[in-house]
């Protein structure tokens, strides 16, 4: 009987450790932290701010690229309307 209890304790401890370090365990810990009103770590807040800045920069670049694409498409449309120029001289 004592061996059975010891084996169950070992496997139980292992199972708890696996769950605690899994994404499920992290989600449970985050939920507990949110309920307790714990503020995020300063380095986490700084990382989020940095990522937000990067996303904003990427958003601006995508907008600029869209404008350039529209400009290039308008130029190509004008060339197609007028007809293609003659081939190179040579």
Render the burial of 9-46: b for 16+ CB within 10 Å, e for the rest.
eeeeeeeeeeeeeeeeeeeeeeeeeeeeeeeeeeeeee
Which is nearest to 41 in space by CA: 53, 55, 24, 29? Answer: 29
pLDDT in tens, the chain (90 residues): 777 777 788 777 877 777 777 888 788 878 887 777 766 678 888 888 899 999 999 999 999 999 999 999 999 998 888 876 655 554
Cα separations in angstroms, 18 against 21, 33, 47, 67, 73: 6, 20, 28, 51, 56
Q: What is the pTM of this model?
A: 0.45
Q: What is the pLDDT of residue 80?
A: 87
Q: What is the pLDDT of residue 88?
A: 54
């Amino acid at each position: 009987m004592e061996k059975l209890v010891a084996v169950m304790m070992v496997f139980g401890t292992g199972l708890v450790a696996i769950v605690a370090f899994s994404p499920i365990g992290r989600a449970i810990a985050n939920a507990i932290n949110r309920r307790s009103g714990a503020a995020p770590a300063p380095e986490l807040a700084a990382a989020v701010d940095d990522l937000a800045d990067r996303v904003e920069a990427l958003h601006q670049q995508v907008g600029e690229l869209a404008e350039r694409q529209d400009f290039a498409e308008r130029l190509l449309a004008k060339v197609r309307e007028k007809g293609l120029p003659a081939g190179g001289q040579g």
